[in-house]
Amino acid sequence: MVSQDFLQDYVEEVREHLIDMEKSLLLLEQEGVDQEQIAQVFRAAHSIKGASACMGFEGLTGLTHELESLIAAVQHSAQAVPPAGISLLLDCVDLISKAMEHVKQNGREPAIDSSLLENLHSAFHKEGLVPQRARPEPSAGTSEMIETAPPVSSEADDDSAASHVDHAPFEEEDEELLGIFVSSFQENMIRLFDILTASAESGLSDDDRKALLELSGKLTSSARYMDYQPIVAELEQWAKSLESDEARDISRRKAMEALETHALSFRSMVPQLAIPRFVEPASPAAPPPIQEEDQELFAIFLDSFQQNLSRLAEAISAPGPDKVSLENASELTESLIQSSKYMDYTVLVELLEEWQGYLVAFKDMDAKDLGPLRGKLSSIAGKIKEQLTELNLPGFEDQRQSFSELLDEEMDLVFSVGNDLAEADFPVPAQAQEDHRSPALARPATDLGTYMAKERLAPASEETPQSSAATLRVDAQKVDQLLNQVGELVVNRSEFIQTVTFFRDMVRELTTRGLLPKHELRRLKLLNFRMNESTQSMGRIANDLQASVMRIRMLPINQLFQRFPRIVRDLALKLGKHVELMVDGGETEIDKRVLEQMYDPLVQFIRNAIAHGIESPEERRRAGKPETGVISLSANHAGDYVVVEIADDGHGIDTRKLRDLLLSRNAVSRPELERLSDEEIVYSIFMPGMSTYDKVDGAAGRGVGLDVVKQNVEHMNGTVEVESEAGRGVKFVIRIPLTVAIIRALLVREGDQIFTLPLTSVTEILRHRPEETHSIEGFKVITLRGKTIPLVDLGNLLGMAAQQADDGGRFVVIVSTSFREVGLVVDGLMGEREVVLKSIENNFQPVEGFSGATILGDGRVSLIVDVSALLRMRNIATGGHMHTSEGGQYVN
Amino acid sequence: MQLNTLSTHATRMREESRQMMQLVSFRIGHEEFGVDILMVQEIIRFTTITPIPNATQAILGMINLRGRIIPVVDLRWVLRIGGGEDKTINRNARILIIELDTHVTGFVVDSVSEVMKVPVAEIEPTPSLVTSSISSAYISGVVKLTQRLIILLDFKRILKPREAREVQNLGIQAALLDHENMQDD
Q: Is position B12 within any domain?
A: no
Provide the percentage of residues in chain A whose pLDDT is more than 70.
66
Which of A:828-847 have CB within 8 Å of B?
A: 838-847
Residues in Cβ contact with B84 at an 8 Å cutoff, skipping those fewer than 6 apart: B29, B74, B76, B77
Q: Is position B95 within any domain?
A: yes
Q: Is position B4 within any domain?
A: no
**Tell me: the pLDDT tens digits for A777-797?**
777 888 888 778 888 888 888
The more confidently predicted of residues B150 and A433 is B150
Give the pLDDT confidence score for residue B26 in this predicted structure: 92
Distance CA B65, CA A232 (A): 63
- ipTM, two decimals, is 0.72
Distance CA A284, CA A281 (A): 9
Residues belonging to chain B: 185
Average pLDDT of chain A is: 71
What's the mean pLDDT in A541-564? 85
Give the pLDDT confidence score for residue A462 in this predicted structure: 38
Alpha helices by DSSP H, listed for A226-294, are: 229-243, 252-269
| CATH number, position B94 | 2.40.50.180
Phi (first) and psi of residue A269, to 5 degrees: -80, -45
A801: nearest Cα among A871, A867, A751: A751
Give the pLDDT confidence score for residue A203 in this predicted structure: 62
The more confidently predicted of residues A287 and A558 is A558
Provide the percentage of residues in chain A whose pLDDT is more than 90.
2
**Tell me: the pLDDT tens digits for A179-211?**
777 777 777 777 777 777 776 655 667 777 777
pLDDT at A512 over 80: yes
pLDDT at A460 over 80: no
Question: Best residue in B39, B59, B62, B157 to probe A by mutation, most A CBs within 10 Å?
Answer: B62
| CB–CB contact A491 B53 (8 Å) | no
DSSP conformation letters of A697-712: -SSS-SS-HHHHHHHH
Closest CB to B69 among A838, A843, A873: A838
pLDDT at A892 over 60: no
pLDDT at A398 over 70: no
**Tell me: the pLDDT tens digits for A288-312?**
444 444 566 666 677 777 777 777 7
pLDDT at A672 over 80: no
Residue A696 has a CB neighbour count (10 Å cut-off) of 11
Residue B133 in 3-state DSSP? coil
Distance CA A680, CA A821 (A): 13
Calculate the CA A394 to chain-centre distance.
Answer: 60
Task: Measure the CA angle with vertex A791, ends A786 and A794; round to 5°.
Answer: 150
Give the pLDDT confidence score for residue A599 in this predicted structure: 85
Q: Is position B40 within any domain?
A: yes
Q: Is position B127 within any domain?
A: yes
Give the pLDDT confidence score for residue B86 in this predicted structure: 56
| CB–CB contact A862 B50 (8 Å) | yes
Give the pLDDT confidence score for residue A251 in this predicted structure: 62
First to last CA, chain A: 61
Q: Is position B79 within any domain?
A: yes
The more confidently predicted of residues A331 and A26 is A26
Calculate the CA A858 to chain-centre distance.
Answer: 37
Report yes or no: A861 at the B interface, CB cutoff 8 Å.
Answer: yes
Give the pLDDT confidence score for residue A341 in this predicted structure: 67
**Exposure of A870 by Cβ count < 10 A (0-12 exposed, 13-18 middle, 19+ buried)?**
buried
Calculate the CA A23 to chain-centre distance.
Answer: 17
Distance CA B138, CA B159 (A): 10
**Exposure of A351 by Cβ count < 10 A (0-12 exposed, 13-18 middle, 19+ buried)?**
buried
What is the phi-psi region of residue B124: left when phi exceeds 0, alpha when psi lies from -120 to 50, beta otherwise?
A: beta
A771 to A780, A783, A807: CA distances (angstroms): 11, 12, 10
**Tell me: the pLDDT tens digits for A336-356?**
777 776 666 777 777 777 777
Question: Is A406:A388 a contact under the CB 8 Å cutoff?
Answer: no
What's the mean pLDDT in A702-720? 75
A contacts of B70 (beta carbons < 8 Å): 841-842
What's the mean pLDDT in A729-746? 82
Model confidence band, residue A748 (pLDDT cutoffs 50, 70, 90):
very high
Dihedral of the CA atoms A372, A373, A378, A383 (nearest 10)? 110
Closest CB to A840 among B53, B69, B159: B69
**Tell me: the pLDDT tens digits for A313-336?**
666 665 555 666 777 777 777 777
The more confidently predicted of residues A730 and A697 is A730
pLDDT at A668 over 80: no
pLDDT at A470 over 70: no
Q: Number of folded domains in chain B?
A: 1
Question: Best residue in B47, B48, B52 to probe A by mutation, most A CBs within 10 Å?
Answer: B52
Residue A320 in 3-state DSSP? coil
Residue A762 in 3-state DSSP? strand
Give the pLDDT confidence score for residue B81 in this predicted structure: 77
Distance CA A824, CA A792 (A): 5
**Tell me: the pLDDT tens digits for A132-172?**
443 334 333 333 333 333 333 333 333 333 333 344 344 44
Question: Is A706:A608 a contact under the CB 8 Å cutoff?
Answer: yes
Q: What is the DSSP letter of A557?
A: T
Q: Is the dihedral of CA A40, A43, A44, A45 positive or negative?
A: positive
Closest CB to B64 among A842, A844, A855: A855
Give the pLDDT confidence score for residue A443 in this predicted structure: 37
Phi (first) and psi of residue B81, to 5 degrees: -95, 125
Q: Is the dihedral of CA A388, A394, A396, A400 positive or negative?
A: positive
Distance CA A583, CA A23 (A): 13
Q: Is the dihedral of CA B127, B132, B137, B142 positive or negative?
A: negative
Give the DSSP H/E element, type plus range, for residue B160. none
Give the pLDDT confidence score for residue A403 in this predicted structure: 55
Distance CA B159, CA B161 (A): 7
Q: Is position B6 within any domain?
A: no
Give the pLDDT confidence score for residue A880 in this predicted structure: 37
Structural domain containing residue B178: 19-184
Report yes or no: A796 at the B interface, CB cutoff 8 Å.
Answer: no
Which is it for strands A828-836 and A779-784: parallel, antiparallel or unpaired? unpaired
What is the residue type of A52? S
Residues in Cβ contact with A346 at an 8 Å cutoff, skipping those fewer than 6 apart: A285, A288
Give the pLDDT confidence score for residue B128 in this predicted structure: 53
Kindly identify which residue of chain B lies nearest to residue A795, measuring between CA atoms: B53
pLDDT at A447 over 70: no
Q: Is position B2 within any domain?
A: no
**Tell me: the pLDDT tens digits for B70-95?**
888 888 888 877 765 555 567 788 99
Distance CA A87, CA A507 (A): 78
pLDDT at A436 over 50: no
pLDDT at B13 over 70: no
Measure in Å the smallest separation between the Cα of A888 and chain B Cα atoms: 27
What is the phi-psi region of residue B61: left when phi exceeds 0, alpha when psi lies from -120 to 50, beta otherwise?
A: left
